């Protein structure tokens, strides 16, 4: 996928809570490419749901940045304040050494370097805050510029009806770009199909709410869209007049999916969309998401803790543990060659409907204090083979490569 631009870029994302900085998500980075299903897995409390909510701007992120369709939509202020604090500390240590050497000019140069660095970081913080606040307007301006540049070359030399047709196409695209809201191009399907739907609203009102917020007032058009979405997710238009409590769990989740896709999104964040459902219903919902992905060209960030479901549905998988990504690889590669001890522990917990296998299955217990020795060197997120990343220090990396036969 290296030849394609990612639709979503998460860079050093940090999400801390409380005065004592509880690190729910601690410095994670990954890319999601158009049309793929990117699985994010880990045990309960590892930070995967928080990651999804931070990406879709339900939280103001603490640090790092989120870039969607080439536009930065979120930026954490801690990125810049931490950089300034770290540089001040390093600069103070360098100045102390220079004082011992008595080099006055070098001390002055160091002080100037620190002042320039602080100024640069403060300016970057202002730009990041502006991008986050004005991301919708900036994206519209960028799209309009791209459309004009594209049609400028196509109109060069065009005459008569051909030119008029091209100009009409350009004006229509510019009109559409002027109304486009980049944030609504991301939608979320929540884990709990009961609490995520307003019990006082009918299904019609729930699904149509996004359109109304966007300012659409044509009731005929709204009803047409609602009925179409209901049919897409396997329901019928008669369901539009009912309330959420009149449906089963699987049907409620289909309503939640309809509410998301009516906005015609490019990216759906599916936060454990099947974990609250029966196994037979889980397969139906996964197959529905697969059909929507194919028919609508959706990209899906699929959050789950069931690795067997994620393997079936995802193109690539990232494994999270205590707020960090410890391994990332293609689905088949991760299952064939798991490297991190935590990934191996998760895989060993997957049951299979085979009594002979179950008798032989050895459950691997992950104990970080025993599995790792980071007293001398901290781990780094390293690409061990193309597309396969693992969190490891130099000693662990050498061992993983030997096990892999590299």
Identify the pLDDT of residue 3: 62
Q: Is residue 173 located within the same domain as residue 202? A: no
Mark whether 206 and 221 lie in a shared domain. yes
Same domain, 113 and 97: yes
Show the DSSP H helices in 262-367 as ranges: 279-296, 307-313, 331-336, 341-348, 355-360
In this structure, the answer to whether residues 205 and 285 fall within a common structural domain is: yes
Enclosing H/E stretch for 37: strand 37-41
Co-location of 86 and 170 in the same domain: no
CB 341 within 8 A of CB 370: no
Retrieve residue 230's tokens.
Answer: 């209901």
Q: Is residue 36 part of a domain?
A: no
120 and 218, same structural domain? no
User: What's the whole-model pTM score?
Assistant: 0.89
Q: Could you tell me if 329 and 389 are in contact, meaning their C-beta atoms sit under 8 angstroms apart?
A: yes
Structure confidence by residue, pLDDT tens digits, 29-85: 999 999 999 999 998 889 999 999 999 999 999 999 999 999 999 999 999 999 999
The closest of 12, 42, 55 to 300, measured between CA atoms, is 55
Q: Are residues 261 and 237 in the same domain?
A: yes
What is the tens place of the pLDDT at every residue in 319-333?
Answer: 999 999 999 999 999
Q: Are 343 and 334 in contact (CB under 8 A)?
A: yes
Residue 172 shares a structural domain with residue 203: no
Q: How many CB atoms lie within 10 A of CB 121?
A: 17
Average pLDDT over residues 247-251: 90
- Alpha-carbon span 390 to 403, nearest angstrom: 14
Supply the CATH number for residue 213's domain: 3.40.50.300
**Which domain does 162 fall in, by range?**
135-179
Total structural domains within the chain = 3
pLDDT at position 160 over 60: yes
């Amino acid at each position: 996928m290296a030849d394609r631009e990612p639709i979503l870029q998460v860079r050093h994302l940090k999400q801390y809570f409380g005065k004592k900085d509880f690190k729910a998500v601690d410095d994670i980075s990954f890319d999601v490419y158009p049309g793929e299903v990117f699985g994010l897995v880990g045990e309960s409390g590892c930070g995967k749901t928080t990651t999804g909510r931070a990406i879709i701007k339900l939280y103001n992120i603490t640090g790092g940045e989120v870039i969607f369709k080439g536009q930065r939509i979120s930026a954490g202020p801690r990125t810049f304040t931490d950089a300034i604090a770290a540089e001040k500390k390093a600069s103070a240590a360098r100045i102390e050494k220079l004082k011992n050497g008595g080099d006055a000019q070098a001390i002055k140069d160091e002080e100037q370097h620190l002042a320039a660095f602080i100024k640069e970081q403060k300016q970057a913080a202002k730009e990041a805050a502006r991008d986050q606040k004005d991301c919708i307007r900036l994206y519209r301006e960028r799209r309009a510029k791209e459309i004009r540049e594209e049609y400028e070359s196509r109109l060069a030399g065009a005459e008569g009806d051909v030119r008029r047709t091209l100009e009409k196409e350009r004006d229509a695209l510019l009109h559409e770009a002027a109304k486009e809201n980049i944030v609504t191009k991301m939608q979320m399907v929540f884990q709990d199909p009961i609490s995520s739907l307003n019990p006082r609203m009918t299904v019609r009102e729930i699904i149509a709410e996004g359109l109304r917020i966007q300012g659409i007032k044509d009731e005929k058009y709204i009803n047409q869209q609602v009925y179409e979405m209901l049919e897409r997710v396997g329901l019928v238009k008669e369901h539009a007049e009912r309330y959420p409590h009149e449906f089963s769990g699987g049907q409620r989740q289909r309503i939640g999916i309809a509410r998301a896709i009516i906005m015609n999104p490019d990216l759906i964040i599916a936060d454990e969309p099947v974990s609250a459902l029966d196994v037979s219903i889980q397969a139906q919902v996964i197959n529905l998401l697969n059909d929507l992905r194919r028919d609508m060209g959706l990209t899906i960030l699929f959050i789950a803790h069931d690795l067997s479901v994620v393997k079936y549905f995802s193109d690539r998988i990232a494994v999270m543990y205590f707020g960090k990504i410890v391994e990332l690889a293609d689905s088949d590669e991760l299952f064939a060659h798991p490297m991190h001890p935590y990934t191996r522990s998760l895989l060993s917990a997957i049951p299979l409907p085979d009594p002979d296998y179950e008798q032989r299955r050895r459950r691997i217990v992950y104990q970080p204090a025993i599995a790792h020795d980071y007293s001398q060197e901290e781990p780094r997120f390293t690409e061990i083979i193309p597309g396969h990343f693992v969190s490891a220090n130099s000693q662990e990396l050498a061992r993983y490569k030997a096990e892999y036969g590299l």
